């Protein structure tokens, strides 16, 4: 949902070029690993700068927004608790959202100090729970739901893509590609609403909200509790899988189509290798490269991509927590979640780069 | 300049649907007032939460508002934000990408690094955060913030294209005869990229419509009526539980159709820029088969002639 029409053509063009030739065992391994190290260092530089930019954005946005967020926050605290916030709490709010008595540099130093200790203060919407606790409670739900569905969607999409791209132009190919084109354009929150109305309200097969059965003891050791998690997460999971596989199918198909035209695939065929072996051992194996790094990228975006779906199903994860925070103007919560997300994205991007270097020895060769 | 119709049927259908929605965005509100003689906010208390009928073609909401009127009015909100944010995103992408790719050197490195950095930030989350701080952003402001986060992908692609332009003979020749870089860039290089830029513009428009829909659904996209706004309102008023599908299904379908239309156009463009994909399209395959059949027929005729 973040990027409904990803700039696929751009990615694919370079990626397809890279996937063209199979891995080869080169002679000059030293120089290559040196290049790989330079490439990874460069990427690391980009991510450090990005992380810093996120930090600056989070620092700047509340300070330059119309209507002083620090004052708003203090007001809301007053409403919530019925008393003026203590000087201690006010000091913390000022550090995070702008202290009128200090200059910007001193403010920034203060701010960074709080952030590196992951201290975002107390939540407004669920006062006086520390934001940290709310985030840690929500995190496992999202990681479990989205981690699982992303991997399943990836497997389905990649397999279908290999199958359709192997013999492009068949009825199966055009049918599936049209279907995934449409699914790719469907807004996730709308699709989630449709599933909710059909399977939950009309048919009554699944619960309409929540992440577990509240009448069952809350413990992972309890079998009924675990089963209730499966039951409650079924609809959100299905929504994410049905909408999620199309991108993978699409990329895999297109790279597969360019790969099967390659000489080495033709040669493998001419050698008389079995269809299956050519398809899996030669074509799909190389065509999969973009999808593998794509998976590493996607796992970082895990939390971001499901904000709306979690909200529709009121699933107790990070996405729902974020929208609750936004609705209640809970600035501390919003800041903390934004940081977590950026951090996850940066780490997974770096992992994706490292995986690419491992899988494709030519990475970093072409100067870009 | 002559306007040519694109040859691919998919591109034609896609462009047609896209233009149709743009048209609805422009004349939709006019139809609501002058043909339907109502407004998106007007409540008909004789028909509350009523299903589709002759009087209300797409039914009514829980407060008796006409769903078709809301759909038409919402088309303007959605399409307007899409077009404006798409324009902002593409203008930035062209400015940064083409300048970087064509100039090269340190400028290129800095601009490219900047695009990479912005691209790495999770854009939708950033949008939610920014929109969350602003109290009910206006339609112009939400277009601007959407445009400001959606440009880097396009910039990177245009940079690659501009880099390949820099090495072409005609640019080398123009540089050699002392043409200024800016003139080459604007007059000679840009026209080569218009096709790609316009295809990317469509993509950016749909990305904008999607982003706006998400924000509006969450209730932080401002008070302008848009498709996402209507779906959000439907959910808040319990339309899902009450089974009022005519309220929330049509707007989502419109978004999905608009997205599909753009994807169709982009398929066509990809097939032009990537010949391997072109061979895969069924039209070409059919043509190849026909040619093969003809060849075989001719050959068999020839052999028959030879034996006779």
What lies within 8 Å, CB to CB, of B54 at 6+ separation is none
A159/B contact by beta carbon, under 8 A: no
Q: Can you give the pLDDT at residue B301?
A: 67
B257/A contact by beta carbon, under 8 A: yes
- Are the Cβ atoms of B240 and A196 closer than 8 angstroms? yes
Q: Two tokens at B308?
A: 């006779």
B279-287, Cβ contacts within 8 angstroms, sequence gap of 24 or more: B279/A168, B279/A257, B279/A261, B280/A168, B280/A169, B280/A173, B280/A257, B281/A168, B281/A169, B282/A169, B282/A174, B283/B8, B283/B9, B284/A169, B285/A169
Q: Can you give the pLDDT at residue B162?
A: 83
pTM of the model: 0.78
What lies within 8 Å, CB to CB, of B295 at 6+ separation is none
Q: Give per-residue burial for A300-329: e unless 16+ CB within 10 Å, then b.
A: bbbbbbbbbbbbbbebbbbbbbbbbbbebb
Chain segment B198-250, per-residue pLDDT in tens: 888 888 998 899 989 988 888 887 788 888 888 888 888 877 877 788 888 89
Range scoring the smallest mean pLDDT among A17-26, A209-218, A252-261: A17-26
Q: Give per-residue burial for B274-306: e unless 16+ CB within 10 Å, then b.
A: bebbbbbbeeeeeeeeeeeeeeeeeeeeeeeee
Chain segment A99-129, per-residue pLDDT in tens: 666 677 777 787 788 777 777 777 777 777 8
Q: Give per-residue burial for A170-193: e unless 16+ CB within 10 Å, then b.
A: eeebeebbeebbebbbbbbbbbbb
| Interface mutation vs chain B, best among A10, A43, A247, most B CBs within 10 Å | A10
Per-residue pLDDT of chain B (308 residues; tens, 9 = 90+): 445 556 677 788 888 898 999 998 888 888 878 877 777 777 777 777 677 777 777 777 777 788 888 888 888 889 999 999 999 999 999 889 888 888 878 888 888 888 888 887 888 888 888 888 787 788 888 899 999 988 888 888 888 888 887 778 888 888 888 888 788 888 888 887 877 788 888 889 988 999 899 888 888 877 888 888 888 888 888 778 777 888 888 999 999 999 999 888 887 777 666 655 655 555 555 555 666 677 777 766 666 555 54
Q: Can you give the pLDDT at residue B80?
A: 92
Which residues does residue B65 pair with via DSSP β-bridges, in sequence order?
B43
Q: Band of the pLDDT at A10, cuts 50, 70, 90?
A: very low
Q: Can you give the pLDDT at residue A19?
A: 46
Choose among A335, A309, A272: nearest CA to A145.
Answer: A309
Q: Can you give the pLDDT at residue B291?
A: 66
- Structural domains for chain B: 69-301 (1.10.3720.10)
Q: Can you give the pLDDT at residue B303?
A: 60
Q: For B244, which residue in chain A has the nearest alpha carbon?
A: A197
Q: Distances from the Cα of A294 to the Cαs of A15, A118, A241, B152, in angstroms? A: 11, 29, 16, 18
Q: Out of B157, B160, B207, name the one closest to residue A4 (CB).
A: B207
CB pairs under 8 A between A and B: 204
Mean pLDDT estimate for chain A: 76
B116/A contact by beta carbon, under 8 A: yes
A195/B contact by beta carbon, under 8 A: no
CA distance A322 to chain B (A): 9
A266/B contact by beta carbon, under 8 A: no
Q: Two tokens at A192?
A: 């989630």
**Pairwise CA distance, residues B190 & B196, whole Å:** 10
Q: Can you give the pLDDT at residue A366?
A: 47
CA distance B44 to chain A (A): 25
Q: Can you give the pLDDT at residue A8?
A: 40
Instruction: Please count the other Cβ atoms lying within 10 Å of the Cβ belonging to residue B40.
Output: 23
For residue B43, the SS3 value is strand
Q: Out of B120, B130, B131, name the one closest to residue A46 (CB).
A: B120
Cβ contacts (< 8 Å) between A7 and chain B: which residues? 153-154, 156-157, 200, 203
Q: Band of the pLDDT at A65, cuts 50, 70, 90?
A: low
- Are the Cβ atoms of A186 and B259 closer than 8 angstroms? yes
Q: Out of A46, A202, A301, name the one closest to residue B116 (CB).
A: A46
Q: Band of the pLDDT at A367, cuts 50, 70, 90?
A: very low
| Interface mutation vs chain A, best among B112, B113, B122, most A CBs within 10 Å | B122
Q: Out of A2, A46, A337, name the one closest to residue B124 (CB).
A: A2
Q: Band of the pLDDT at A69, cuts 50, 70, 90?
A: low
Choose among B7, B3, B94: nearest CA to B269.
Answer: B7
What lies within 8 Å, CB to CB, of A196 at 6+ separation is A208, A235, A312, A313, B240
Q: Out of A65, A181, A258, name the one closest to residue B276 (CB).
A: A258
The dihedral through the CA atoms of A209, A213, A218, A220 has a sign that is: negative
**Pairwise CA distance, residues B306 & B308, whole Å:** 6
Cα atoms in the 13 Å half-sphere on the side-chain side of B168: 14
């Amino acid at each position: 949902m973040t990027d409904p029409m990803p700039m696929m053509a751009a990615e694919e063009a370079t990626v397809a070029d890279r996937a063209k030739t199979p891995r080869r065992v080169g002679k000059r391994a030293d120089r290559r690993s040196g290049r790989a190290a330079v490439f990874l260092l460069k990427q690391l530089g980009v991510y450090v700068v990005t992380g810093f930019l996120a930090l600056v954005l989070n620092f700047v946005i509340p300070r330059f927004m119309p209507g002083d967020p620090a004052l708003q926050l203090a007001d809301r605290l007053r409403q919530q608790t019925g008393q003026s916030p203590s000087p201690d709490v006010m000091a913390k709010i000022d550090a995070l959202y702008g202290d009128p008595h200090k200059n910007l540099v001193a403010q920034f130093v203060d701010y960074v100090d709080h952030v590196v200790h992951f201290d975002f203060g107390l939540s407004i919407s669920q006062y006086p729970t520390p934001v940290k606790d709310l985030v840690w409670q929500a995190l496992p739900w999202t990681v479990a739901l989205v981690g699982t569905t992303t991997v399943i969607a990836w497997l389905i999409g990649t397999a279908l893509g290999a199958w359709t791209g192997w013999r492009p132009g068949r009825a199966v190919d055009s049918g599936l590609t049209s279907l995934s084109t449409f699914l790719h354009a469907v807004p996730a929150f709308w699709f989630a609403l449709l599933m909710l109305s059909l399977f939950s309200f009309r048919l009554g097969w699944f619960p309409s909200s929540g992440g577990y059965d509240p009448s069952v003891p809350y413990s992972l050791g309890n079998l009924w509790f675990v089963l209730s998690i499966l039951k409650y997460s079924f609809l959100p999971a299905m929504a994410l899988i049905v909408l999620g596989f199309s991108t993978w199918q699409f990329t895999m198909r297109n790279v597969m189509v360019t790969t099967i035209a390659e000489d080495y695939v033709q040669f493998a065929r001419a050698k008389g290798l079995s269809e299956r072996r050519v398809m899996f051992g030669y074509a799909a194996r190389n065509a999969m490269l973009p999808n593998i790094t794509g998976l590493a990228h996607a796992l970082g975006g895990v939390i971001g991509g499901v904000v709306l779906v979690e909200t529709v199903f009121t699933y107790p994860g990070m996405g729902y927590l974020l929208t609750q925070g936004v609705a209640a103007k809970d600035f501390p919560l919003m800041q903390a979640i934004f940081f977590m997300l950026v951090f996850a994205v940066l780490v997974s991007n770096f992992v994706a780069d490292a995986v690419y270097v491992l899988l494709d020895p030519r990475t970093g060769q072409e100067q870009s | 300049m002559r306007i040519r119709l694109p040859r691919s049927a998919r591109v034609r259908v896609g462009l047609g649907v896209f233009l149709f929605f743009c048209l609805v965005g422009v004349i939709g509100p006019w139809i609501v007032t002058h043909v339907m003689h109502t407004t998106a906010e007007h409540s008909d208390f004789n028909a509350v939460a009523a299903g589709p009928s002759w009087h209300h073609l797409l039914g009514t909401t829980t407060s008796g508002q006409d769903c078709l009127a809301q759909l038409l009015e919402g088309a303007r909100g959605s399409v307007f934000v899409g077009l404006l944010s798409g324009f902002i995103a593409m203008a930035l992408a062209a400015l940064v990408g083409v300048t970087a790719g064509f100039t090269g050197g340190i400028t290129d490195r800095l601009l490219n690094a900047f695009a990479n950095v912005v691209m790495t930030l999770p854009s939708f989350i950033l949008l939610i955060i920014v929109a969350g701080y602003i109290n009910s952003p206006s339609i112009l402001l939400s277009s601007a913030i959407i445009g400001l986060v959606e440009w880097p992908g396009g910039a990177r692609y245009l940079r690659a294209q501009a880099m390949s332009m820099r090495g072409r003979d005609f640019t080398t020749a123009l540089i050699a005869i002392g043409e200024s870089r800016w003139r080459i860039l604007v007059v000679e290089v840009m026209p080569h990229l218009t096709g790609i830029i316009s295809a990317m513009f469509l993509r950016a428009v749909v990305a904008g419509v999607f982003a706006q829909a998400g924000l509006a659904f969450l209730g932080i996209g401002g008070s302008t009526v848009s498709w996402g706004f209507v779906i959000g309102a439907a959910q808040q008023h319990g339309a899902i539980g009450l089974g009022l599908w005519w309220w929330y299904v049509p707007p989502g379908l419109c978004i999905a159709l608009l997205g599909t239309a753009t994807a169709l156009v982009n398929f066509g463009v990809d097939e032009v820029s990537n010949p391997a994909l072109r061979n895969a399209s069924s039209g070409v395959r059919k043509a190849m088969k026909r040619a093969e059949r003809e060849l075989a027929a001719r050959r068999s005729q020839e052999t028959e002639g030879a034996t006779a």
